[in-house]
Amino acid sequence: MNITLQNIGRRFNREWIFKGIDHTFEGSGNYAILGPNGSGKSTLLQVLNGSLVPSAGTIKYFDGGKEIDAGEIFNYLSLAAPYLEAIEEFSLNEMIDFHFKFKAFKPGMDKSAVADILNLEGSRNKLIKYFSSGMKQRLKLALAFCADTPMLMLDEPTSNLDTQGIDWYLSLVEKFSENRLTIICSNQEHEYSFCDNRLSISDYKG
């Protein structure tokens, strides 16, 4: 899976958040989008995942050489981000069932395996609204990692996680990011230390 950006820019009113990005995200590489808070990392990720249209330039998606329409790209990716919320009135079981109506499980995974990864086998009927912020974050990450998609996009993946949670996140990266295009938005090195390719949003300011 490849994403090609040509002269990509995004502005808010008259102010450019970033512009002039020429970059290719290739195959099963690990990429980090870096920059301080408020620099536009999340905005670029939203452009990459098709939820925002660029203000300038073109973005193209390819799967094995076949171009994919931007309107279909959501079928090819899994996303976990602070601005994406789990459905509070669902139980854990219901949330897993709902998510995997739209995405296939990775081979060898099922509902019980996801609950096991979360170490919440005994809380499968507990409503999401009663989860701690850390458990909600773990849930969002587990759903994204365990979906069988060629792209994985994570924004601030260890927000609300303690040291044990960070280690848990890194174990999922090792197990579930192989052979998929992985893009991490972050300003904390422990979140992206495994990424061989890094793009600094500060290099594309107006």
User: Could you read off the pLDDT of 114-168 as tens digits, one per residue?
Assistant: 999 998 877 889 999 999 999 999 999 999 999 999 999 999 999 999 999 999 9
User: Domain ranges in the chain?
Assistant: 29-52+74-200
Q: Which two tokens stand for residue 169?
A: 């996140």
Average pLDDT along the chain, 206 residues, taken 10 residues at a time = 96 93 93 92 95 95 92 94 92 95 94 91 89 94 96 95 95 93 95 95 87
Listed in order, strand segments (DSSP E) in 69-112 are: 77-80
Beta 15-25 vs 2-12: how paired, if at all?
antiparallel
Query: Mapping DSSP to helix (H, G, I), strand (E, B) and coil, where does residue 23 land?
Result: strand
Residue 64: the pLDDT is 86
Superfamily the domain 29-52+74-200 falls into: P-loop containing nucleotide triphosphate hydrolases (3.40.50.300)
In this prediction the pTM is 0.93
Residue 206: the pLDDT is 64
Q: Scan for tokens 């999340």, then name that residue.
A: 42
Residue 200: the pLDDT is 96
Sheet harboring 181-186: ordered strands across?
77-80, 151-155, 181-186, 30-34, 197-200
